[in-house]
Amino acid sequence: MAQRLKSEHRKKMKAVAEALPFVAANYWILGAGVALIVLGYIALAQDPWDGFMALVVAPILLVLGYCVVIPVGILFRSKQERGATEITTSGELAAH
């Protein structure tokens, strides 16, 4: 009985682990987010410290990078990948 439960648990863990890895598109989006963040810090370091770049452009770039692009890069799934796996009501992964 215990062996069967352990093997079922391992199968579920393998199915969940296979659904999580990133694809190339995720890395491109994450790279764009990192580039926005770097540009934001570069804009923040520009003289004068009370100028347009440091007070307006830098915060916009940083917020876009940290709060929009990086989360999109983490959560992005292609249409093909969305159709391949679907979570059923019992919480198990069902492949189509």
- pLDDT tens by residue, 43-59: 999 999 999 999 999 99
Higher pLDDT, 93 or 73: 73
Q: Is the pLDDT of residue 29 over 70?
A: yes
Bin 64: left if φ > 0, else alpha if -120 < ψ < 50, else beta: alpha
> Rounded mean pLDDT of 32-37?
98
Mean model confidence pLDDT for the chain? 82
- pLDDT tens by residue, 59-82: 999 999 999 999 999 999 888 777
66 phi/psi in degrees, rounded to 5: -75, -40
Higher pLDDT, 36 or 16: 36
- Cβ neighbours around 34 below 10 Å, total: 14
Q: Is the pLDDT of residue 96 over 70?
A: no
Domain assignments of the chain as residue spans, ordered by start:
22-95
> Rounded mean pLDDT of 13-41?
85
What DSSP string runs through 54-80? IIIIHHHHHHIIIIIIHHHHHH---HH
